């Protein structure tokens, strides 16, 4: 296993190119199953989760090649309908193949995803919506076994609560359904908008893109997708939080500031100077962070995927900050690890109270899930002394070569096997 060895504190200075968005790539990879032929996705980061999804698609008969940020998925010979447990259990997003398999093949056998580091993550909306589209679903030894009588049939469905994954899954399924599907209370994350736009360019008929009400007129077939993935807003936000913690000045390029309005606003409240252009953001910080009160919300609200990173910033703030995760009540595995670095964070259900400390002290900590681990790396760069972040495979799932890129900004960080 690998760990990071980080010596702090070090300011972050320089320029960094933001990679393609993991959470935009994954649904696009599943959407390749809606057509036979060569789907091409540009600006794809070389991440563990992307490589993993390639394995799942290959299990289903596709051929995948990722070279120089271009992902080619050839589904000419796609013939499988089964996504096995030993693959799905490692990545929840594997359930994205359910909709496309039911829509294209009329059958699917997809393992129910397990929980994740911070607790249960249900998939009832995915299943209820597929049944509303006419799929017959049964549970067999932990597998969702789905069959349709011919094509899926257009329907009306409302997501409660808003769900990014379920919106993506059902949108893909409805594209090939017979008739009209009306979806209400859809997620409007940019990654979903990107997916819908890519599907329309391939012949899908979708109205209301970017809004919470989407109407899909089913078609018999679509062409393979050709799409350039948007920048990863969460990766950009993570680097921005790093500057807020360590002070310094960093320009992020190839990023869309419009996707980061809520994060920019919180960082400005914290005391960052932020300037932007159409595809870059510069963050400058030369003071101790100010305390803030943040509640995570579905887009365009403050993203739950930035909760851990901003909490890490708040550990150094003047005064007391409050962080509530309204999306995942228990997404706080980073709290005990941050407290090992000298933070003073108390939990009460889904609300964390963060009493700002003058500084953090380096210590060995354990990465648990992707964003919690990123928060620990940022904290290590700000802490005085040596921080060991163990089990960094969690970070490799969603950040490409993060240690190399942070080192290029001045962080004293290296990867070592242990
Ligand atoms: C996506 O997960 C992201 N993953 C997550 O990012 C992100 O945290 C999450 O959306 C919220 O923004 C990908 O895009 C691959 P949800 P997803 O369905 O789709 C409840 C990361 O760090 N819910 O929007 O699984 C659920 O419990 C990852 O990159 C149901 O009740 O999240 C939660 O409370 C972590 N039933 C809320 O909806 C369902 O069937 C939002 O979850 C589905 C979800």
> In this predicted structure, what is the pLDDT of residue 84?
81
Closest CA to 104 of 39, 165, 182, 188: 39
Nearest 5 degrees, angle CA 91-CA 97-CA 101? 155
Query: What separation in Å is there between the alpha carbon of 375 and the centre of ligand 1?
Result: 19
> In this predicted structure, what is the pLDDT of residue 114?
66
Q: For 112-253, where are the E strands, in sequence order?
A: 136-140, 143-147, 156-158, 180-184, 205-207, 214-217, 226-228, 248-253
Options 3.65.10.10, 3.40.630.30, 3.20.10.10, 3.40.190.10; CATH of 2-19+231-417: 3.65.10.10
> In this predicted structure, what is the pLDDT of residue 334?
96
Give residue for tokens 């070592």: 416
> In this predicted structure, what is the pLDDT of residue 142?
86
- Strand 226-228 relative to strand 38-42, pairing: parallel
What share of the chain has pLDDT > 90, as a percent?
A: 89
Reported pTM: 0.97
Nearest CA to ligand 1 atom 18: 163
Nearest CA to ligand 1 atom 27: 121
- Do the domains 2-19+231-417 and 22-228 sit in the same CATH topology, yes or no? yes
Nearest CA to ligand 1 atom 33: 327
> In this predicted structure, what is the pLDDT of residue 358?
87
- Ligand 1 close to Cβ of residue 163 (< 6 A): yes
Query: How do the domains of the chain map onto residue ranges?
Result: 2-19+231-417, 22-228
Testing ligand 1's pocket by substitution, the residue of 27, 157, 171, 327 carrying the most ligand atoms inside 8 A of its CB is 327
Nearest CA to ligand 1 atom 13: 23
Do 177 and 216 form a contact (C-beta atoms < 8 A)?
yes
- Strand 38-42 relative to strand 63-67, pairing: unpaired
- Ligand 1 close to Cβ of residue 25 (< 6 A): no
- Could you tell me which CATH number the domain at 22-228 has? 3.65.10.10
Testing ligand 1's pocket by substitution, the residue of 19, 31, 94, 163 carrying the most ligand atoms inside 8 A of its CB is 163
> In this predicted structure, what is the pLDDT of residue 343?
98
Determine the Cα–Cα distance for residues 113 and 115; give it in Å rounded to an integer: 7
Q: Which stretches in the chain have pLDDT values below 50?
A: none
Report the b/e string of 256-295 with b at 16+ CB within 10 A: bbebbebbbebbeebbbebebeeebbbbbbeeebbbbebe
Contacts of 51 (CB under 8 A, 6+ apart): 66
Q: For this structure, is 64 an active site residue? A: no
> In this predicted structure, what is the pLDDT of residue 116?
64
> In this predicted structure, what is the pLDDT of residue 81?
84
Determine the Cα–Cα distance for residues 391 and 395; give it in Å rounded to an integer: 8
> In this predicted structure, what is the pLDDT of residue 292?
98
């Amino acid at each position: 296993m690998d760990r990071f060895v980080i010596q702090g504190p070090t300011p972050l200075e320089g320029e960094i190119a933001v990679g393609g968005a993991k959470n935009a790539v994954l649904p696009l990879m599943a959407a390749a199953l809606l057509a036979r032929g060569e789907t091409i996705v540009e600006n794809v980061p070389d991440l563990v989760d992307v490589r993993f999804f390639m394995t799942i698609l290959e299990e289903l008969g596709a051929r995948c090649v990722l070279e120089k940020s271009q992902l080619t998925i050839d589904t000419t010979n796609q013939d499988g309908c089964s996504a096995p447990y030993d693959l799905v259990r490692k990545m929840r997003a594997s359930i994205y193949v359910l909709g496309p398999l039911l829509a294209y093949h009329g059958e699917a056998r997809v393992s129910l995803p397990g929980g994740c580091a911070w607790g249960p993550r249900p998939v009832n909306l995915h299943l209820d919506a597929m049944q509303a589209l006419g799929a017959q679903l049964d549970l067999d030894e932990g597998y969702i076994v789905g069959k349709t009588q011919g094509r899926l049939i257009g329907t009306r469905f409302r997501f409660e609560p808003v769900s990014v994954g379920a919106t993506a899954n059902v949108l893909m399924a409805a594209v090939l359904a017979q008739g009209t599907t009306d979806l209400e209370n859809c997620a409007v994350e940019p990654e979903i908008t990107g997916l819908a736009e890519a599907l329309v360019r391939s012949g899908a008929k979708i109205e209301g893109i970017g809004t919470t009400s989407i109407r899909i007129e089913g078609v018999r077939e679509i062409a393979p997708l050709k799409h350039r993935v948007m920048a990863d807003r969460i990766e950009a936000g993570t680097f921005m939080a790093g500057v807020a913690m360590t002070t310094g000045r960093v320009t992020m390029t190839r990023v869309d500031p419009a996707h980061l309005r809520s994060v920019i606003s919180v960082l400005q409240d914290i005391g960052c100077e932020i300037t932007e252009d159409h595809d870059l953001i510069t963050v400058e910080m030369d003071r101790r962070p100010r305390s803030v009160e943040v509640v995570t919300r579905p887009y365009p609200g403050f993203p739950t995927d930035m909760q851990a990173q901003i909490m890490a910033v708040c550990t150094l703030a003047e005064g007391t900050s409050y962080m509530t995760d309204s999306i995942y009540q228990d997404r706080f595995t980073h709290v005990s690890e941050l407290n090992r670095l000298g933070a003073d964070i108390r939990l009460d259900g889904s609300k964390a109270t963060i009493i700002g400390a003058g500084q953090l002290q380096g210590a060995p900590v354990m990465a648990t899930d992707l964003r919690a681990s990123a928060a620990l790396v940022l904290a290590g760069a700000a802490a005085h002394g040596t921080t060991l972040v163990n089990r960094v495979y969690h970070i490799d799932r969603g950040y490409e070569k993060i240690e190399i890129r942070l080192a290029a900004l001045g962080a004293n960080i290296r990867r070592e096997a242990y």
